[in-house]
Amino acid sequence: MTAPSPLLIAMHPSDNVAIVANDGGLAAGTLLPDNGPGAGLVLRDKVPQGHKVALVDLPAGAPVRRYNVVIGHAARAVPAGSWVHERLLHMPDACGLDDLPKATAPAPDWAPLAGYTFEGYRNADGSVGTRNILAITTTVQCVTGVVEFAVQRIRQELLPQYPHVDDVVGLSHSYGCGVAIDAPDAVIPIRTLRHISLNPNFGGEVMVVSLGCEKLQPDRLLPPGSIPLVDARSSTDASVLDVVCLQDDAHVGFMSMIESILRQARVHLERLNLRRRETCPASELVVGVQCGGSDALSGVTANPAVGFATDLLVRAGAAVMFSEVTEVRDGIAQLTARAASPAVADAMIREMAWYDAYLQRGSVDRSANTTPGNKLGGLSNIVEKAMGSIVKSGSGPISGVLAPGEKLRQKGLIYAATPASDFICGTLQVAAGMNLHIFTTGRGTPYGLAPVPVIKVATRNDLARRWHDLMDVNAGRIATGEASIEQVGWEMFELMLAVASGRKTWAEHWGLKNDLVLFNPAPIT
C-alpha cells in the first residue's frame, strides 16, 4: 500500500497559510505536490496534522491569513514551507462593537425544502419531543442523592411496566441554596432550570423534588402559569404543582421519601405511556449545534457540513440554534451583517457586550477559551478557532437572539448566547427547547446528554477510526476528498430525522450522560 500523498488545505485563495490534512502530519523535507496549495514547496519543519504551513515568505509583522481573515501577525520572519505554530503568531485585539454592519448581507435565494418528516411526540403546548422521558426536577443540590436512589428504583421496577416511556432522568444541578438568589444575574440559572423542566422531550409532565428550606422554593422555580399542561389539566386550580418535599412532616424514614417519589412518578408515567409517535414535519425540529474538543479540521470538515445541514433545516422551516459567545466574538461582524434586521444585530451586540464585561470582571478576555487540545490540533488562537466555529451557522439570515436560559419561541436560525463550555452550552440549549443536538469534535469527547439525543461528528478519519463506536458521523472524509461537504451535510440531515424518530445515537447506546451544568454568573453566599 502506498502512503497517501501530502495534502494541504487552504480555506480561501487569499490565505497565506494552509493546514496539513494527513493523519500523523508530514515530515520535514516533504515535497508538496503540484495540484494543491504550496505546490513545489519543500517543508522546512515536521508539521503535525491540522497545523499550518507558510505558503509564502512571511516577513516579521506580516498578517497571517486563514479563512481570508487575519488570525495573527508573524512574530518574526517565517520562510515559506515553515510550520506556523502559535508561538509565531501575535493575536489581534477583538474588534469593537460600535460601527458593525447590521443586516447588510443579502438573503440567500433559497427554495423551501418540503416533504421531510420524522416520527415525534406531539405535546399539548405545540412543541414536539424526539424522546418520551420522565424528568424529575429538583430545586436544590441537597436532594440529588435521594432523587438518584429513586431514579434507579423507577428504572428497575417501574419502567418495565411502561414500555412506551424511554427513560427517567433526575434533573440534578448545583444551584438552589447558598446563592445570592435576589442578585440580578440569578435570573439566568433560575429560568434555565425552569425551562429545562419544560423541554419538549419531557411531554409536559413536571414533578419536583424539594428539600423544603432551600432558597429556590418550588413556586419560585415554577410559578403558577409557567407549566402549560398542568394549567390545561387543572382547570379549577392552575397553581397545582406536583412537589415531593423531603422535610415534610409526613415523611418518617428514608424509604418514606422514596415511596413518595415513586408514587408520584407513577402518575406521570401512566400519562407518558399513553403517548405514541406520529408523523411530524421536519419544521418541528429544534436543533442545537455545538463543537467541543475542536481542532483545525473542525472548520474544514465537520463544521462546514453542519453548516450545510443547518441551511437544509432552516429551509425546511425548523429552528437551529448556534451558541458559544467566545467562539463567535471574533466573527461578530460577519454575523451582524447576516442578521435578519438591525434589531437582531443589536441583540447580538448586546450579548457580546454583556459577555465582554463578564470576562473582564474575571480579568480575562475571549482568548481564555482555547485549550491545550485545541492548540495540539493546530488552532493557534481564538480568532482561528472562531472562524472555524461560526461556519456551523451555515449561510442563512439570523432570525433571532436568545439570552442565556431563555426559551426559544420562533423558527429559523437563532443565536442562543451561551458560554462555549460544552456541558453549559448543552444545558442552556436544552433549556431553550432543543429536541436534537449536533456536536462536532476533532480531539474527541464522549459527550452525551440525558434529556436530548446527541449526534456526534468526527472532524477527521483517524478519530472516526479509533472512536468508531462513539462517533455517529465521520466528516473526515471531506478532508481526503472521499466525500463532499454537501454529501456529509445531507447524510447528517437524514440521520437527524432518523434519530429524531427514535434511532439511538452511540452516546445513548452506551448511556453516556454529562451532568447538566447551570450558568450562574451571580454570587454564591
| Interaction site with Ca ion (CB under 5 A) | 292, 420, 422
Minimum distance from residue 167 beta carbon to Ca ion (Å): 24
Minimum distance from residue 369 beta carbon to Ca ion (Å): 9
Cβ proximity to Ca ion: between 41 and 309 the closer is 309
Are residues 485 and 468 in contact, defined by beta-carbon separation less than 8 angstroms? no
Q: Measuring CA to CA, which residue among 465, 300, 447, 443 is closest to residue 375?
A: 443
Minimum distance from residue 188 beta carbon to Ca ion (Å): 18
Q: Measuring CA to CA, which residue among 335, 356, 336 is closest to residue 346?
A: 336
Cβ proximity to Ca ion: between 66 and 392 the closer is 392
Buried residues in 388-413 as b, exposed as e (16+ CB within 10 A):
bbbbbbbbbbbbbbbbbbbbbeebbb
Minimum distance from residue 353 beta carbon to Ca ion (Å): 21
Rounded (5°) CA angle 456-457-459? 145
Cβ proximity to Ca ion: between 280 and 287 the closer is 287
Q: CB nearest Ca ion: which residue?
A: 292
Minimum distance from residue 365 beta carbon to Ca ion (Å): 18
Are residues 448 and 513 in contact, defined by beta-carbon separation less than 8 angstroms? yes
Cβ proximity to Ca ion: between 221 and 428 the closer is 428
Burial of 125 (0-12, 13-18, 19+ CB in 10 A): middle
Cell numbers standing for residue 338? 447576516
Helix H or strand E segment including 429: helix 422-432
Cβ proximity to Ca ion: between 129 and 442 the closer is 442
What lies within 8 Å, CB to CB, of 346 at 6+ separation is 102
Minimum distance from residue 422 beta carbon to Ca ion (Å): 4
Task: Tell me the DSSP string of 238-288.
Answer: TT--EEEETT-TT--SHHHHHHHHHHHHHHHHHHHTT---EEEEGGG-EEE
Minimum distance from residue 478 beta carbon to Ca ion (Å): 21
Cell numbers standing for residue 57? 515568505
Rounded distance between C-alpha atoms, residue 369 and residue 385, angstroms: 9
Are residues 166 and 132 in contact, defined by beta-carbon separation less than 8 angstroms? yes
Minimum distance from residue 375 beta carbon to Ca ion (Å): 16
How many angstroms separate the first and last alpha carbons of the chain? 64
CB count, 10 Å around CB of 31? 14
Cβ proximity to Ca ion: between 421 and 480 the closer is 421
CB count, 10 Å around CB of 360? 10
Cβ proximity to Ca ion: between 290 and 461 the closer is 290
Minimum distance from residue 179 beta carbon to Ca ion (Å): 25
Cβ proximity to Ca ion: between 384 and 422 the closer is 422
Q: Which amino acid is at 82?
A: S
Cβ proximity to Ca ion: between 37 and 50 the closer is 50
Cβ proximity to Ca ion: between 292 and 451 the closer is 292
Q: Which amino acid is at 3?
A: A
Minimum distance from residue 351 beta carbon to Ca ion (Å): 16
Cell numbers standing for residue 43? 517543508
Cβ proximity to Ca ion: between 8 and 291 the closer is 291
Minimum distance from residue 327 beta carbon to Ca ion (Å): 7
* DSSP E strand boundaries for 310-376: 319-322
Burial of 227 (0-12, 13-18, 19+ CB in 10 A): buried
Cβ proximity to Ca ion: between 258 and 420 the closer is 420
Minimum distance from residue 414 beta carbon to Ca ion (Å): 17
What lies within 8 Å, CB to CB, of 80 at 6+ separation is 38, 41, 54, 55, 56, 57, 58
Cell numbers standing for residue 96? 469593537
What lies within 8 Å, CB to CB, of 504 at 6+ separation is 453
Rounded distance between C-alpha atoms, residue 486 and residue 417, angstroms: 27
Minimum distance from residue 49 beta carbon to Ca ion (Å): 21
Minimum distance from residue 428 beta carbon to Ca ion (Å): 11
Cβ proximity to Ca ion: between 132 and 290 the closer is 290
Tell me how far the alpha carbon of residue 109 is from its chain's centroid.
27
Cβ proximity to Ca ion: between 207 and 420 the closer is 420
